[in-house]
């Protein structure tokens, strides 16, 4: 399942006003851990499609720099969970695995 790409212009509507929890993948095309984990993230998005919305933001492009800064994304990959318009969990760093993301999703949904 391909993930929808959002921008600073669509973030409020797609994430903050969503009617279910949202996982935002801040990624970049030169971020090897981001690219390596993308297929696993797409699988998890498909598995949880009813309860969780999963989107991605290309943090490397100029139009999204402010959005990344506003959410204090200082390194990639960064996975931020939002619910009811607020960030509720964050998973960052190079050592992230599918299992770590799966556990974080479980925490958010339970």
Query: pTM for the full model?
Result: 0.96
DSSP 14: I
Q: Do residues 2 and 46 make contact, with C-beta atoms less than 8 angstroms apart? A: no
Dump pLDDT digits (tens) for 69-105.
999 999 999 999 999 999 999 999 989 999 999 999 9
Query: Model confidence at 1, in pLDDT bands (50, 70, 90)?
Result: confident
DSSP letter for each residue of 48-77: TTTT-EEEEEETTSGGGHHHHHHTT--SSS
Catalytic sites, residue numbers = 31, 34
Q: How many whole angstroms from its chain centre is CA 25?
A: 2
Task: Report the distance separating Cα 15 and Cα 49, nearest Å.
Answer: 15
Q: Which CATH topology does 4-92 take?
A: Glutaredoxin (3.40.30)
């Amino acid at each position: 399942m391909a993930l929808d790409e959002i921008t600073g212009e669509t973030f409020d509507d797609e994430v903050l006003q969503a009617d279910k929890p949202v996982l935002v993948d801040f990624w970049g095309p030169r971020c090897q851990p981001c690219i390596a984990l993308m297929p696993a993230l797409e699988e998890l998005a498909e598995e949880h499609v009813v309860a969780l919305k999963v989107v991605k933001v290309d943090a490397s492009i100029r139009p999204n720099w402010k959005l990344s800064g506003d959410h204090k994304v200082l390194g990639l990959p960064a996975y931020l969970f939002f619910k009811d318009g607020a960030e509720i969990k964050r998973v960052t760093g190079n050592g992230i695995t599918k299992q770590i993301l799966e556990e974080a999703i479980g925490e958010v949904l339970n």
